[in-house]
Structure 1
Amino acid sequence: MNDNHIDLLVYNIGTLLTLQGTNQARKGQEMSELGAISGGAIAIQDERIFAIGQEADVRAQIQGMKIVQSLDAREQLVTPGLVDPHTHLVHGGSREHELSLKLKGATYMEILAQGGGILSTVRATRAASEQDLYDKARRSLDVMLQYGVTTAEAKSGYGLTLEDELKQLRVTQKLHHEHPVDLVSTFMGAHMVPEEYKGRSEAYIQLIINEMLPAVKKLGLAEFCDVFCEHGVFAVDESERILTAAKALGFGLKIHADEIEPMGGAALAGKLGCISAEHLLAASDEGLKAMQQAGVIAVCLPATSFNLRLKKHARARTMIDMELPVALSTDYNPGSSPTESIQLVMTLACLNLGMTPEEVLTAVTINAAHAIGKADEIGSLEVGKLADIVIYNANNLAYLPYHFGINHVNTVIKRGKIVVSDGIKV
């Protein structure tokens, strides 16, 4: 490596929010501490941050080094690349026809019981070719990137056969290698009991444990295993068996917990030491306390509760006050949250979850990075970390959730390269 060069210098930054300051997921008051620098600059070398701080200090550090490319931030806001830690990115079809059912009063679980919902997407995903799934997911990733997301998690769970689950996971792996957005893969064969196993859920659980999990592990197609622990889907004891088997194989653990009813999924997340528990709208105080004690990160999905027209939302304020780390995500999927916009989620987190803009930014950067096990590389702007950076058409953080429904991103830098310029993917 030639140390006598800087590949990219970002200068004239109005407000630089670094999120520096802790190696742990932020909780409580820490979620409001953003490591702000006025008049900052970032020097990038070989995909990583070489120097960061006040512009005069950065320029002094790189004095005498060749600067290959410079970028004027025009005194605007700069943050770490945004991280979306819970998506169902790869899927076939769409479910816009369910909107009229919801407007007529049908609930999420009622639509599911009628053969719609997840099962509808399973049929479409099984029918889709691998190339079809790739093309569709790539278009969504382009949108996510233009909205500032530089890393995302992607779950399977719409195949529900070994080959169709592997098909989804292969698409995720290919996109990870070919698209600027880095992807973290989660196996979620326990998303639903498929129609052909109706009344035989135990046989399907055995399929997951004895065939699916070992095959996914052998092929190296997923880092995490997730289970939809919910009434009418997988019970707490069933979820525990699946996750315990996954843990024995070396998977990290995640759980869709207490979304609709207080099933005890949050408490299970604490018991098993899951890296994160997702949704949590109906989580009890005891469940949240178990998560807090075990260091589980709460991933809240305000676009989902908004789109499902629910009267309650995840209790993010309670979580923060009890020093439970909170992350935020789109939950991008074709049914309950068909949006790729992390910026919409940021607004909804303020309006419906009662989070401050500072807490929200923490939740979509460093805490989201911790929720997918990548905080050593991303989520904050620090020397040695990957140069994943967003420059906005805004000069302060509060403007992002305040002026909602538009894309505020001007420039996205991924691994030191400009991949979005003037809001358009390069």
Structure 2
Amino acid sequence: MSDFIIANARIITLDVGDLPRRGDAMENLGVIENGYVLVIDGKINQVQSGSPDEAVFEKSDELVVIDAEGRVVMPTFVDCHTHTCWTGSRLNEFEASLRGVPYLDILAQGGGIMSTVKSVREATQEDLVTSLVGRIALMASLGTTVVEVKSGYGLTTNDELKMLRAIHDASQEVPQLISGTFLGAHAIDPEIENFTDLVIEETLPAVADEFPNITCDAYCENGAWSPEETTKLFERAIDLGCPIRVHVDQFNALGMLTRAIELGAVSVDHLEHSTDKELALLATSNTIGVLLPASGFCLGDEYARGRHMIDSGCAVAIASNFNPGSAPMPSMPFAIALACRRLGLTPAEAITASTVNAACVLGLQKKVGRIKVGFRGDIQLLDCEDERELAWQICGGGPLLVSIDGEIIHLLSEGESGMEGEDE
């Protein structure tokens, strides 16, 4: 671990208000106009305005001092919805989509999710670990240090367990926090008789036995899991002690949003076609709506109504939905830019949604998502003096510095960044 201090910084602490943030509270970033952040033994030790005194420098014999020169320091991103564990390629389907073939048609023809399922079933657990670790490293260079990773490309009991074991193994190899989610209800395998019953009665119990209290997710949509099948799955998951999340209303509003809220879902994700009535119900619940703007960008410019949701009082988070088909996009800054340009969020709201609110989705709000004393030293230094550039700039160069659990894993040289760093 690196003991370090970043001084002369505009600090976005996000350490204000109740959790998760809603409405006007999402605009309050808890800004310290000029201050410093001290990280010792992997944890945030001090967050103060002004300049550090001599006593601060005496806290460590090997303190790395970084002058931010007025730039923005903020928490790293929490990507609370990804499908980052896969092997194989979907480039042929990408070309088909460019020719106008709808995603659900690709899925019905054995492509889409089922194409990746075939590849993952043929892969070894070690293959999956290697591919996942590489993608996680890429995401870290873009400022993401907490990643939720779903299974769902195995669909059989053995292959779903293989994926979840690979996700666990990868989490032991990288400094990032990785949160695994069971998504055995990702698609319907047409070659397996009574598939949904098999997932509910065999796969889910086996997963819950090996990974107690793992979150159970499902993709509820025409051509995939029906509301009735999804409800049956979730009732069994709750009996087994598993929290629930659901992909809902991506293409059609089927009523599952209401059922998920009634069942106490941690989050409801996608929401592109959710009705006013169901969004009003979401606003009065403890369930968080997860917005996935990259899917809309890749699949015909249909987006969730983020502005309406926030104005209605919904708690919202933003995630990349990084996957090989409908959102091959690892960048949370790009998700933020899309959320502002297409979903109607302000930059401050999008930052809140991609940090502290996203941490709430994963139950990690007491560890990450804020710059707060005692939290993990997951911090990034941006190459700008105004955090609104995250939303304004498209596909920029990424942060100048990223630390994970107090370890600086990404630091541009002085010539590249204009920063000064030295051992005190």
Same fold (TM over 0.5): yes
The aligned residue for residue 99 of structure 2 is 104
For residues 19-418 of structure 1, the aligned pairs below 5 Å read: 19-56=14-51, 59=53, 62=56, 64-72=58-66, 73-197=68-192, 200=193, 203-220=194-211, 223-310=214-301, 312-418=302-408
CA 1:213 to 1:32, structure 2 compared with 1: closer, same or farther past 3 Å? same
Alpha-carbon offset, residue 14 of structure 1: 2.7
The aligned residue for residue 421 of structure 2 is none
Q: What letter is aligned with 2:204?
A: L
Alpha-carbon offset, residue 291 of structure 1: 1.9
Deviations 1:90-142 (CA, angstroms, capped at 9, x unpaired): 11212111122112221110110111100111001111111211111111111
Alpha-carbon offset, residue 347 of structure 1: 0.9
Alpha-carbon offset, residue 63 of structure 1: 6.6
d(CA) in 1 for partners of 2:2, 2:320: 33
1:9 aligns with 2:40: no
Contact 2:7 2:37 (8 Å CA) reproduced: no
d(CA) in 1 for partners of 2:45, 2:204: 40
Q: TM-score, normalised by structure 2?
A: 0.94
Alpha-carbon offset, residue 264 of structure 1: 1.4
Alpha-carbon offset, residue 67 of structure 1: 4.6
Alpha-carbon offset, residue 22 of structure 1: 2.7
d(CA) in 1 for partners of 2:176, 2:236: 30
Contact 1:11 1:55 (8 Å CA) reproduced: no
Contact 1:8 1:70 (8 Å CA) reproduced: yes
Contact 1:265 1:287 (8 Å CA) reproduced: no
Q: What letter is aligned with 1:362?
A: T
Structure 1 residue runs without a partner (length 5+): 1-5
d(CA) in 2 for partners of 1:351, 1:66: 44
d(CA) in 2 for partners of 1:292, 1:59: 46
**Other structure's SS at 2:403 match:** strand
Contact 2:2 2:408 (8 Å CA) reproduced: no
d(CA) in 1 for partners of 2:136, 2:352: 22
Contact 1:276 1:371 (8 Å CA) reproduced: yes
Alpha-carbon offset, residue 84 of structure 1: 0.3
d(CA) in 1 for partners of 2:397, 2:258: 37
**Other structure's SS at 2:104 match:** helix
Deviations 1:251-297 (CA, angstroms, capped at 9, x unpaired): 11100011100111221221111111100001111211222222111
Q: What letter is aligned with 1:355?
A: L
CA 1:233 to 1:410, structure 2 compared with 1: closer, same or farther past 3 Å? same
The sequence identity of aligned pairs, in percent, is 33
RMSD between aligned alpha carbons?
1.7
Alpha-carbon offset, residue 62 of structure 1: 3.4
**Other structure's SS at 2:191 match:** helix
CA 1:155 to 1:60, structure 2 compared with 1: closer, same or farther past 3 Å? same
Contact 1:134 1:171 (8 Å CA) reproduced: yes
CA 1:194 to 1:71, structure 2 compared with 1: closer, same or farther past 3 Å? farther
Q: What letter is aligned with 1:170?
A: R
d(CA) in 2 for partners of 1:129, 1:274: 32
Report which stretch shifted further, 117-126 or 98-107.
Answer: 98-107
d(CA) in 1 for partners of 2:263, 2:342: 30
Alpha-carbon offset, residue 61 of structure 1: 6.7
Deviations 1:124-176 (CA, angstroms, capped at 9, x unpaired): 11111112111111111111000000101000000000111011101110111
Alpha-carbon offset, residue 398 of structure 1: 1.3
Deviations 1:366-423 (CA, angstroms, capped at 9, x unpaired): 0110111111111111111111101111111111221211223111011111011119
d(CA) in 1 for partners of 2:132, 2:25: 35
**Other structure's SS at 1:294 match:** coil
Deviations 1:202-250 (CA, angstroms, capped at 9, x unpaired): x222222222112112212772100101111111111111011111111
d(CA) in 1 for partners of 2:50, 2:166: 42
Contact 1:13 1:75 (8 Å CA) reproduced: yes
d(CA) in 2 for partners of 1:365, 1:98: 32
Deviations 1:167-192 (CA, angstroms, capped at 9, x unpaired): 11011101111112211110000001
Q: How many residues align?
A: 413
Q: TM-score, normalised by structure 1?
A: 0.93
d(CA) in 1 for partners of 2:22, 2:184: 31
